[in-house]
Structures are given as structure tokens and as C-alpha cells.
Amino acid sequence: MPRDFIAKRVAELKPSGIRKFFDIVATMDDVISLGIGEPDFTTPKPILEAGIEALRQGETHYTSNAGIYELREAIADMLEEKYQVSYNPVDEVVVSVGVSEALYLALTAVIDPGEEIIIPTPCFVSYQAEVMLAGGVPVEVPGTFENGFQPEPELIEKAITPKTKAIFIGFPNNPTGAVASRENLLAISKIAEKHDLLVISDEIYDSLVYGVEHVCFAALPGMKERTITLGGFSKSYAMTGWRVGYAAAPANILGGLVRIHQYTVMSAPSVSQLAALAAINLGADAAEEMRLKYDRRRQLIVSGLNEIGLETFLPQGAFYAFPKISGTGMDDEEFAQRLLEEEKVAVVPGSAFGSGGEGFVRCSYATDYTKIEQALERIGSFVKRCGG
């Protein structure tokens, strides 16, 4: 037997709790999936057409490492217009292979071995894993249902040690749907300044908010110089398969990200970059139409879950509801497993998203309205039968 060739830091990574579930779902028929965190919509037509046309025009080559200039410019203009934060498209924006790559770039560029990154949880499953892959230590600061899963500035400050390098926030939040309040973000900005910390802010769901404002962290006073903003196209424009996103940061920080990007992926796919440009220029109406549909589904799923007796706070962003299932007497793993086996409804155990997620499950409402209605019926019978 050859020796074990896998690096220790990789061997120590747990497989994603989400993927594990989908491997089971893939083997079953008639499952209603509230599991997956991706729009059920196909990419809107004007964006699709732009992608197809780009291929026809022979746009099949590498682009400049940081991305097609016109797209970087459009991203900078969009951030300026939406949030009044200015990035120079020449050296402050990089187009990445989804926010997934941007996350990797940001963490790899800033973490020295053993440095700590504070992460309010529950959060997107990749944050902790990417911190560990970059040689860092994720320090989780759990939010609570009672506090609407807001990031808690006092707890964040308490978690700071001499090894802390950055605070990593992801709002609107996957999996809770919480949108961080301006007040809390301002308090976090003061902490970042006081302790000279970097802030990495994953704002991939910035356009998916319902009746509340999304605050761009970098736009807060003094924050641009210590923030890496991550954003993308996957969610708001239904473009998950195109694999395109971006990072924006001051040139002295962004240069580090671009260096890694150059050596690892060279450039994001050319055709996807041109489709992303079309999304910014032509996709606003379609994005708004999808947002309104998500909003309708949000009302349905939240009131449905509450009626079933699974207490669910009203999410203000993204496309997830996060019902509390601890009252059923099951833990979140058992609840999700049995719901899948007995009623063929897929949800994701909250503990997959880090501390604070135990006792909850994530239900994505990026699913057809009628399917959500059916799923609610099935969840209702399950809870009635097994809910303690």
C-alpha cells in the first residue's frame, strides 16, 4: 500500500453537509428539493443571447488576467451607482470564476499560517473550509434566532486575539436570509478600525432583498481601504453555471488576489464574462421579475412553515427560510434525513452551516411556487406524524 498522499489540511476538511445530501437525493425519484441554493430559473434571454452571440463572434480565447476591461468598468460603475463606493477598474476589480474563486483568492492572498479569521455563523459552507485551506483558523461567532441571526459586534470584538487578521461577513445571509443592519455593520466597521483588521464581505445576494436596504460594507466611512468586496452574477441573474463573479478592493490588496488568479485560472471564461456584461447592461428587468417571484414564494413558505408549527423568522434577503425544528424532538440531521426518506422533501441540516445552525434546517425557496405548496403539505404531515 502506498502511503497516504493527501495533505493534512485537506484530509482534515469535512465533506460539505450539502453535497452529502445531494448525493442521496440524486438516487431518488419524485423528490421536491428545497435543498439547493440556486435559482430554478434559466438565465434570462438577453443574457443568454449575448453569450451565444459572443461564441458566434469567436470570443473563445483567454481574456486579460483580471477580466475584460469593459466588464470591470461596468462592475465599478454599478458599485458606484448603487453604493457610492469608487473602484478603479484598472487595478481594483478582478473578474473571477464565481464568488467561489473570489473567496479563495481573498483568503489565500491575506492569510499567513495560523492567522485567525472571525466568521459570524451560520454561514455559507465554504467560508470555514477556505480559511483552513489557506492555512488559517476559522473562529465562529454564532448568531441567534432571537436576534434575527444578525452579526453581533460585541461578540465579534470578544473573539479578537493577537492572531486575528480579518472579519468575514456574508450578508444577505445564506442560510438564514438575514440582512445585516446598518447599525451592526457600522459597529463592526469601528471594531475593524480599532483593531486594524481587514473585512471580507461576501455580498453575492446584494440585489435579493425584500423591503430593506442592503448596506455595502466598503461604502461605510473609512472602510474601502480595509475591505475586500465579493460579488457575483450567479444568484440575482440566475447564472450559476456560467461561473462568473468578482472581487473589488484597493489596488494594494487586489494585486495579491490577481497574482493568485493569474497562476491558478488565468482568466474567467471569456463567454461568461461577456454574458455578465450583458447582465449588467440588459438584465435589470429580468432580475427584478425573478426577485418579485422569490418574494411571493418567501411569504408562502414562511407562513406555511409557521402554520405547521416550525417557528420561522421572516428572512429579508437571499432565498432561504431557516425554520427552527428543535421542537420536534429531532436534531437537524435526523429531521432532514427522515423528511427525505419518508416524505421525499430535501432540506439541508442547519449544522452544515456552522455553529448556531443546530436545530434548524435550510429551505431554499428558489423553487417553483406550486412545488413549495406541495413540499409544505408533506412537511406538515411529517411534523404531525413525527413531531413529538
Q: By the 8 A CB rule, do 240 and 279 touch?
A: no
Least spacing, CB of residue 114 vs ligand PLP, in Å: 25
Least spacing, CB of residue 213 vs ligand PLP, in Å: 18
Q: By the 8 A CB rule, do 240 and 47 touch?
A: no
- Judged by CB under 6 A, the stretch of 68-76, 95-103, 145-153, 308-316 that binds ligand PLP is 95-103
Pairing status of strand 348-349 against strand 361-364: antiparallel
Identified binder of ligand PLP from the candidate list 17, 44, 51, 98, rule CB under 6 A: 98
Identified binder of ligand PLP from the candidate list 177, 232, 357, 359, rule CB under 6 A: 232
d(CA 49, CA 27): 34
**SS3 category, 165:** strand
C-alpha cell at 2: 502506498
The gap from C-alpha 69 to its chain's centroid, in whole angstroms, comes to 25
Q: Is 37 in the site for ligand PLP (CB under 6 A)?
A: yes
**SS3 category, 36:** coil
Least spacing, CB of residue 204 vs ligand PLP, in Å: 4
Pairing status of strand 345-346 against strand 93-96: unpaired
Q: Is 335 in the site for ligand PLP (CB under 6 A)?
A: no
The gap from C-alpha 118 to its chain's centroid, in whole angstroms, comes to 16
Applying CB under 6 A, the site for ligand PLP has a residue count of 13
C-alpha cell at 351: 449544522
Q: Is 177 in the site for ligand PLP (CB under 6 A)?
A: no
d(CA 221, CA 156): 19
172 or 323: CB nearest ligand PLP: 172
Q: Is 170 in the site for ligand PLP (CB under 6 A)?
A: yes
111 or 366: CB nearest ligand PLP: 366
275 or 383: CB nearest ligand PLP: 275
170 or 177: CB nearest ligand PLP: 170
Which residue is closest to ligand PLP by CB?
Answer: 98
Q: By the 8 A CB rule, do 143 and 171 touch?
A: no
Q: Which residues would be at the binding site for ligand PLP (CB under 6 A)?
A: 37, 98-100, 124, 170, 174, 202, 204, 232, 234, 240, 245
